[in-house]
Structure 1
Amino acid sequence: MADSQQNDLSLVAAIDLGSNSFHMVLARVDQGEIRILERLGEKVQLAAGLDENRMLSDEAMQRGLDCLRRFAQLINGLPQGAVRVVGTNALREARNRGQFIRQVQQILGHRTEVVSGREEARLIYLGVAHTLADDSGRRLVADIGGGSTEFIVGERFESLLRESLSVGCVSFSRKFFTDGKITAARYSQAYTAARLELMNIEKAIHRLGWTEAVGASGTIRAIGQCIQAAGKGQGEVSREGLQWLKRKVLKATHVDKLDIQGLKADRQPILPAGLAILEAMFDALGIENMAHSEGAMREGVLYDLLGRQQHEDVRERTLSALMERYHVDSEQAARVEAKAQRLMRKVEGQWHLSISKQVDLLTWAARVHEVGLDIAHHQFHKHGAYLIEHSDLPGFSRQDQQALALLVRGHRRNLPNAERLGEFGEEAGTLLRLCMILRLAILYHHIRGNQDMPELAVEAGQDYLILYFPDGWLEANPLTQADFDQEALYWAKADYRLTVR
């Protein structure tokens, strides 16, 4: 379901917390089309602040926060749902990302998501596809980031293959060119490391085939600009131009000596690594020429946001496909979903559950709570939670998948314990209550089929909930009575009181 707070938004913004640079795009929505008003970008090199224990340094976090304080001025006053803030590889890797994300949300006033590599790839392709001329050809899109490189094969606006590899211009610079020295041996090591990673995906890309290669990153654009400044192209990257630039880079011997027309100073330290990755890509995938697109992940985030507003939410398609794949009883899921939503409306005031994201999570969980049954009935709630947390679910952030997995895991047997809930920080209490509502809806429809079930009166408080059934109904339906009696015992372990009358 589309986020209810995203209706009728005329101004929208996307912020990309990249491993190398932070970017923001502000746009106006006009007749269903996006008109870019402002683009901002700053080199933060967040990935450079990751140590061997995958901890972000205070200095790297401060660089990012300082940048976001400047970005924040442009989005002050924009409502919830009008701004999407998305983190990528560096935040996927950082063990202390929660500390950084909390500060980001305080500065921007909007929720920050961390997306998987494949979701990042989907968003990149969406941005590129909306920027290039519409044609029916198959495209290969590549984006060399600071900590990862994404590859997508797609047609028009649909991606057919989405992959993310752990090769990036910042991480490779630290690994192979840490002191700035450039040698043929170091370059060869970086190239070989990239080729080894590419071996994991090159067969799949060759099997699909493509007619046009497009680069979407600042690294590929910078390389194209260097080649163009030398009179060897119009901004695209050719194999000949790539080899010319490689010779120039190796001749320099140090990043400080990279005196190449068209190369900006802030690109010098990461050019050798980016070049080695791009050459490996050309050789592994048989690329001869690569055009460049101004569209990238931030534009893709905007178009994804617009799709949610226009009720073309990719998350809906994702869940429908998941339900079909694992043979979910869609009629039972619909009954549980409807009951969960009715219960939520009755307690939303007392339990503070009116935010659209909470409605979405409960709705999604009701739809997919039985996906694990297709694996095995024994502990199917655990199977379902694993599938949801670890599957490639286009449109969902990692936080969304983890929260959804928590609800599915907690829909039967014991409620999520304090340790598990603690991983969700301030959202812990809300997720516990959503889990409780889901469980009640499932118990209410324990007997499958279109049963004649009574409407409930509900009373809720800080740590209790009372359900009122019609007089005599529970006595006439002892299975339901037993279900709710057992449920009250589970709630008691979580310091909540469930009473059924």
Structure 2
Amino acid sequence: MNGPVAVVDCGTNTIRLLITGPDGNGGLSEIERRTKIVRLGQGVDATGEFHPDALARTFAQAEQYADLIKSQDIPAERVRFIATSASRDVSNRDEFLEGIRQRLGVTPDVITGDEEAALSFAGALSGADDPHTPVLVTDIGGGSTELIIGNAAGTADHAVSLDIGSVRVTERFLHDDAPSADDLGRAAAYIDQLLDGEQIEWPAVRTWIGVAGTLTTLAAVDLDLTEYDRSKVHGHQIRIADLNAISARLSALSAEQIRGLGAVDPQRADVISAGALIATRIAARLQVGSLTVSEADILDGAALELIGTER
């Protein structure tokens, strides 16, 4: 495939768009990339269904993405809509699928956790600079966290998707603004239980790469950016000690105070503390000195798959 493709990734917290094409060297030439927080997974953990307001927000953004895809000088040869954690088990999934089909003209792929992990790994490695094997790629989403271990050539050896995400952990455990020490402790214990249940050789990991909104936001906070800058975030390394300090700092702030940090999307302010907590519990199991944050993620992996390009 020589022309551009468009990929939409809809998770628990965000809906994101990538329009891109092949760069001629086995990679991607980005045309457009957008992110919007719609909180599709609002209340899903408790109710098992999409809230009407969440569907309305998601459909409205899907319409905007459809218009943006159509407005390109060179039309996308293929469009793929990927739905992840929040869409897997809800009772009103068909309403969501039909709403997206009407607006974008494609049937959403509700991918498994394993598929999500594989695409995230491929995308992260496409933007990595000489990582050392074994590589751990981590995607902390709103409803789930993907952990993928593989080699620097881009081959994933082990992948797991856990039901711990920034929205899910916030709704289940962190009820106060800011969260209490007891609530943080209960959340950490739950996260630890799920992490410890996986057969992962944590100490063997040589390179830790983090993708998607939670970890890119933490990189922006570490950089003390007054506004988000993708070019500065990509490839930034957060020292583990600094990651722990950021998590402690955020958990002591109210959502309103976090909104005052220019690097944090205002709509992410109420769940970023939970995301940071998940990151620190993963870090506690590793022997690496830092987390490398990548702006290349599942969108890039899915686009490479559509184009039929291998790294």
* TM-score exceeds 0.5: yes
2:37 pairs, out of 43, 47, 52, with 43
Q: How does 1:77-116 map to 2 (within 5 A)?
A: 82-116=78-112
Question: For the residues of structure 2 that align with 1:82 and 1:300, how far apart are their CA atoms?
Answer: 15
Pick one of 6, 22, 37 that aligns with 2:15.
22
Which residue among 193, 196, 199 is the counterpart of 1:199?
Answer: 196
What is the match of residue 255 of structure 1? 255
| Runs (5+) with no aligned partner, structure 1 | 1-7, 313-501
Structure 1 position 265, deviation (Å) = 2.2
The aligned runs of 1:53-132 (5 Å cut-off) are 53-76=47-70, 82-132=78-128
| Match in the other structure for 2:272 | 271
CA distance in 1, matches of 2:9, 2:223: 28
Kindly provide the CA deviation profile for residues 383-413 of structure 1, in whole angstroms up to 9, marking residues without a partner as x: xxxxxxxxxxxxxxxxxxxxxxxxxxxxxxx
Report whether the alignment pairs 1:188 with 2:185: yes
Query: Partner letter of residue 62 of structure 1?
Result: A
Tell me, in whole angstroms, the C-alpha distance in 1 between the residues paired with 2:168 and 2:141: 9
Match of 1:167 among 164, 169, 173: 164
Give the structure, 1 or 2, with the largest relative contact order (CA under 8 Å, sep 6 or more). 2
Query: Is the partner of 2:160 in helix, strand or coil?
Result: strand
Asked if 1 retains the 8 angstrom alpha-carbon contact of 2:178 and 2:251, the reply is no
Q: Distance in 1 between matches of 2:218 and 2:114?
A: 25
Change (3 A) 1:51 1:191: closer
Number of the residue aligned with 2:228: none
Q: Is the 8 A contact 2:132 2:207 kept in 1?
A: no
Cα distance in 2 for partners of 1:104, 1:266 equals 23
Instruction: State the partner residue of 1:240.
Output: 241
**CA-to-partner distance for each residue in 1:128-164, whole Å, 9 max, x for gaps?**
1111125563211101000000001111111111111
Equivalent position SS for 1:204: coil
- C-alpha distance in structure 2 between counterparts of 1:102 and 1:81, whole Å: 22
Distance, in Å, in 1 between the alignment partners of 2:155 and 2:45 is: 37
Report sequence identity in percent: 25
Q: Once the 2 structures are TM-superposed, how far is the Cα of residue 29 of structure 1 from its aligned partner?
A: 2.8
Number of the residue aligned with 2:286: 285
Output the amino acid matched with 1:94. V
CA–CA distance in 1 between the matches of 2:284 and 2:252? 22
Question: What secondary structure sits across from 1:146 in the alignment?
Answer: coil
> What does the per-residue CA deviation read over 1:323-345, in whole Å, with 9 as the maximum and x for residues that have no partner?
xxxxxxxxxxxxxxxxxxxxxxx
Q: 1:280 to 1:229 in 2, by over 3 A?
A: same
SS at the partner of 1:52? helix
CA distance in 2, matches of 1:188, 1:135: 33
After TM superposition, where is structure 1 displaced by more than 4 Å over at least 4 residues in a row? 77-81
> Separation in 1 of the partners of 2:250 and 2:131?
36
**How many residue pairs get matched?**
297
Partner residue, 2:207: 212
Q: CA RMSD in A?
A: 2.4
Closer, same or farther in 2 for the Cα pair 1:206/1:179, shift >3 Å? closer
| Structure 2 unmatched ranges of 5 or more | 226-232
Larger Rg belongs to: 1
The verdict on how the C-alpha distance between 1:62 and 1:248 changes in structure 2, with shifts beyond 3 A counting, is same
| Bigger fraction of residues in helix | 1
State the match for 2:224 in structure 1: 229
CA distance in 2, matches of 1:213, 1:185: 29
TM-score normalised to structure 2 length: 0.88
Contact 2:205 2:287 in 1 (8 A): no
Report if the CA contact (8 A) 2:9-2:83 is conserved: yes
What is the aligned counterpart of 1:178 among 175, 178, 189? Answer: 175
More strand by share: 2
Q: Alignment partner of 2:283: what SS?
A: helix
- 1:47 positional shift: 1.1
Aligned-pair distance for 1:295?
A: 0.6
